């Protein structure tokens, strides 16, 4: 896994290197500029002309260092300066050096026509306008520069982050769209969230001399890699009883497909037994469709609601429970949920309508919030659970997730085109996957896999990370032989674990 650091952490690390280690800020800037200049020539070995857009802060200073080194490497460089009444101290110093060396510098306000030509008659544009510390909306002359960069046919390389992109959230109203982004010292969450994957292009990181290992700063979260997928827990010397009994509760009339997909995914990922607990009216349906799973009618009272005592007796046999896929939100579903939340000794996965019912019944949600519970909401379901507006979640998903039930050790897998997974103070990000997962049924497959891993004895957090990784990796591998829009939930199940993964 790869550590990701927030903007605040990165700033603190930078200040610590300067104030505590005694490393001059100009030295850090020199390290960054030289490393990026060398990287540029590796990426573009035939580079003859480069236009570098520099803002008033230290990101612009990095751009000026890059310009100096590229000139020494026999590249023709044009520097575009963004007008601003105040510059950072390092930026002023670097600008004096560049003027003393007589580098070709254009002021955007004074040389707008020449600037326009500089973006069209170049082999590469280096975006050094605003670094990861930028907050807000780009406007005025900076917005005009962004338009020129966007209209140019030349590739764009951003220094640290595409200008205008929020380093913590990946949000932006207007930002550079880069072909390459070279992060300075730390990778930030915004590269992988929201707009980040669309605008960063090829992402790499270069050290600048902050000595993070010595500073021992714990990252905000970790990005999961394929090698984090855990598959080596199985033993040849075992039998089906070793790999757990998973009980799945869902599938109201009209929505039984969700239960079938969760069941198939659970079996495909290794659960020893999978039981489907269904309503009285659905016995014939499940009898005709289930072959490898076991189906049981839920005992009911005279009021046609689940019988608490008898259902509890059934659940005693379970190694894990999944409740929610196609469950419905009627009185029958609520009664089953009330029984299930009392199971605190085994992992319980709450998905789909189980989450909607928990949102409507906060006491049940609070009662279920313990270390064996796993919630799998998409953004809409999470907002209902957390009682927040969608815009609040979009503005800062990490903060919203950390603020939800902060004292609970329950595991939460927040699903989107990227996923955030939280358990207590631990936080992980999964960026694997593609638009083929943007279809009904993908969440049911995920829930089935997650519950299967939990039934086999993996911890709730490991089960959530494993299932999220496996779903995303499978979808990506499927695009090697089909278009992403052709991916279906049942297709994902068919392709699960059909190829060797790099995980342990």
Domain limits, the chain: 2-220, 226-232+243-495
More confident call, 37 vs 253: 37
Per-residue pLDDT reduced to its tens digit, 311-364: 999 999 999 999 999 899 999 999 999 999 998 899 999 999 999 999 999 999
Cα 452 from Cα 275, distance rounded (Å) = 11
Cβ partners under 8 Å of residue 102, min gap 6: none
Strand partners, 246: 274, 320
pLDDT confidence band for 298 (50 / 70 / 90): confident
More confident call, 498 vs 436: 436
Phi, psi for 269 (deg, rounded to 5): -100, 10
More confident call, 140 vs 281: 140
Cα 342 from Cα 310, distance rounded (Å) = 14
The stretch 56-67 carries a mean pLDDT of: 95
pLDDT confidence band for 501 (50 / 70 / 90): low
- What pLDDT does residue 337 have? 96
Check pLDDT > 80 for residue 265: yes
Check pLDDT > 60 for residue 232: yes
Query: What is the number of other CB atoms lying within 10 angstroms of the CB of residue 409?
Result: 16
The stretch 466-471 carries a mean pLDDT of: 96
Per-residue pLDDT reduced to its tens digit, 90-101: 999 999 999 999
Share of the chain above pLDDT 90, in %: 70
Please give the DSSP secondary-structure letter assigned to residue 269: T
Best CATH choice for the domain 2-220 from the list 3.40.50.10470, 3.40.50.10260, 3.30.460.80, 3.90.1150.10: 3.40.50.10260
Both tokens of 308, joined, read: 């608490």
Check pLDDT > 70 for residue 113: no
pLDDT confidence band for 236 (50 / 70 / 90): confident
Both tokens of 8, joined, read: 């605040």
Check pLDDT > 90 for residue 156: yes
Per-residue pLDDT reduced to its tens digit, 377-420: 999 999 999 999 999 999 999 999 999 988 888 999 999 999 99
104-107 β-sheet, strand order: 104-107, 76-81, 49-54, 124-128, 156-159, 180-184, 202-206
Domain 226-232+243-495 has CATH 3.30.930.10: no
Cα 281 from Cα 259, distance rounded (Å) = 15
pLDDT confidence band for 64 (50 / 70 / 90): very high
- What pLDDT does residue 500 have? 57
Query: What is the number of other CB atoms lying within 10 angstroms of the CB of residue 344?
Result: 12
- What pLDDT does residue 242 have? 73
Check pLDDT > 90 for residue 287: no
The stretch 122-140 carries a mean pLDDT of: 90
Count how many Cα atoms sit within 13 Å of the Cα of residue 501 in the half-sphere of its side chain.
24
Cα 214 from Cα 16, distance rounded (Å) = 11
């Amino acid at each position: 896994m790869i550590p990701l650091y927030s903007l605040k952490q990165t700033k603190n690390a930078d200040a610590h290197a300067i104030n505590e280690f005694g490393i001059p800020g100009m030295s850090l800037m020199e390290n960054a500029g030289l490393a990026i200049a060398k990287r540029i020539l590796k990426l573009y070995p035939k580079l003859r002309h480069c236009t570098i857009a520099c803002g008033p802060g230290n990101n612009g200073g990095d751009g000026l260092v890059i310009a100096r080194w590229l000139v020494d490497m026999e590249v023709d460089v044009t520097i575009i300066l963004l007008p601003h009444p105040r510059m950072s101290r390092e930026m002023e110093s670097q600008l004096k050096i560049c003027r003393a060396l007589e580098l070709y510098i254009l002021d955007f306000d004074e040389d707008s026509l020449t600037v326009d030509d500089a973006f069209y008659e170049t082999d590469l544009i280096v975006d050094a306008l605003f670094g990861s510390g930028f907050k807000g909306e780009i406007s005025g002359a900076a917005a005009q520069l962004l338009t020129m960069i966007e209209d140019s046919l030349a590739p764009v390389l951003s220094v640290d982050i595409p200008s205008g992109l929020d380093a913590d959230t990946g949000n932006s109203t207007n930002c550079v769209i880069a072909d390459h982004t070279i992060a300075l010292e730390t990778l930030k969450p915004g590269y992988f969230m929201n707009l980040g994957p669309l605008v960063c292009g090829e992402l790499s990181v270069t050290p600048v001399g902050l000595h993070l290992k010595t500073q021992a700063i714990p990252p905000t979260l970790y990005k999961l890699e394929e090698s984090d997928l855990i598959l080596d827990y199985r033993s040849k010397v075992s039998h089906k009883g070793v790999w757990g009994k998973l009980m799945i509760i869902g599938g109201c009339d009209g929505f039984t497909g969700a239960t079938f997909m969760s069941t198939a995914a659970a079996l495909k990922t290794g659960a020893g037994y999978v039981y489907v607990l269904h309503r009285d009216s659905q016995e014939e349906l499940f009898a005709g469709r289930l072959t490898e799973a076991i189906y049981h009618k839920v005992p009911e009272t005279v009021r046609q609601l689940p019988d608490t005592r008898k259902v509890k007796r059934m659940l005693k046999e379970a190694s894990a429970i999944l409740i929610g896929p196609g469950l419905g939100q009627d009185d029958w579903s609520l009664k089953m949920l009330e029984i299930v939340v009392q199971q605190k000794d085994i992992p319980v996965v709450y998905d789909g309508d189980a989450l909607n019912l928990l949102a409507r019944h906060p006491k049940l949600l609070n009662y279920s919030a313990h270390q064996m519970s796993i919630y799998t909401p998409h953004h809409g379901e999470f907002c209902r659970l957390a009682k927040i507006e969608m815009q609040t979640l979009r503005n800062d998903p990490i903060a919203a997730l950390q603020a939800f039930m902060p004292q609970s050790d329950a595991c939460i897998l927040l699903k989107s085109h990227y996923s955030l997974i939280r358990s207590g103070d631990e936080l992980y990000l999964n960026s694997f996957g593609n638009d083929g997962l943007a279809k009904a049924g993908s969440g049911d497959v995920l829930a089935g896999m997650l519950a299967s891993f939990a039934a086999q004895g993996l911890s709730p957090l490991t089960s959530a990370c494993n299932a999220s990784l496996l779903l995303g990796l499978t979808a990506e591998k499927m695009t090697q032989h089909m278009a992403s829009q052709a991916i279906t939930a049942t297709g994902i199940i068919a392709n699960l674990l059909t190829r060797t993964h790099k995980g342990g």
